[in-house]
Structure 1
Amino acid sequence: MSAYSTAFRALTAGRALRPADAAQLLADLRREFGEEAADAIEQDLSGQFRRTPTDTDGAFRRKRRDYGAAMRIVNAFRHLAAAPLRPTLPPQHNRSTS
């Protein structure tokens, strides 16, 4: 059973949920939504960065770089959706020294 249907059933049952059960239900709902959204974004991105016959080597390298950056964002979204109540962001990977 999906987290959405479990939440719907709990909200319409006419009885109050214990706080721990409500928090777990919301965490399951957030995780499930995050996975579905990340999967949909990843599927949408998969066709945008393929090599075409007119691409130069430089253009294809830029496409690969852009795809890698987009996938890092998708994976960070997955990480945040599956994180506990107070999520921590993964460290940034950039060349900044400050």
Structure 2
Amino acid sequence: MNAYTTAYQALTRGRPLSPDEAARLLADLRTEQGVEFADLLERGLSDKFRRTDTDTNAAFRKKRATYGASMRVISALRALARAPRPTLPNQRNRSTS
């Protein structure tokens, strides 16, 4: 049973949920939705950054760098989705703006 179905059944059962049960259901839902979203993004990116016959070496290096940055973002999304208490990762530069 997926997390959405479990949450729906728990909410429509007619008995109030304890705070721990509600937190667990929401965490399961967040995890499932986050992983599905990251998988969808990854599938969309895999075709976009393939080397074509018209790509120069420099253009393909740019594609590869962009793909790497995109995959780091997707990895961060997966980590946030699976974390018991989500926190944002540290910023990689010292910019204040």
Give the TM-score taking structure 2 as reference length: 0.91
1:55-98 per-residue CA deviation (whole Å, 9 max, x = no partner) reads: 0100000000000011111111111111123x22333445x598
The equivalent of 1:52 in structure 2 is 52
The equivalent of 1:89 in structure 2 is 88
Runs of 5+ consecutive residues of structure 2 not aligned to the other structure: none
Looking at structure 2, the residues matched to 17 and 97 of structure 1 have their Cα atoms a distance apart, in angstroms, of 44
Runs of 5+ consecutive residues of structure 1 not aligned to the other structure: none
Looking at structure 1, the residues matched to 63 and 33 of structure 2 have their Cα atoms a distance apart, in angstroms, of 28
Give the count of matched residue pairs: 96
Alignment RMSD: 1.6
Identity %: 59
Looking at structure 1, the residues matched to 84 and 76 of structure 2 have their Cα atoms a distance apart, in angstroms, of 14
Runs of 4+ in 1 over 6 A off after TM superposition: none
Residue type matched to 1:88 in 2?
T
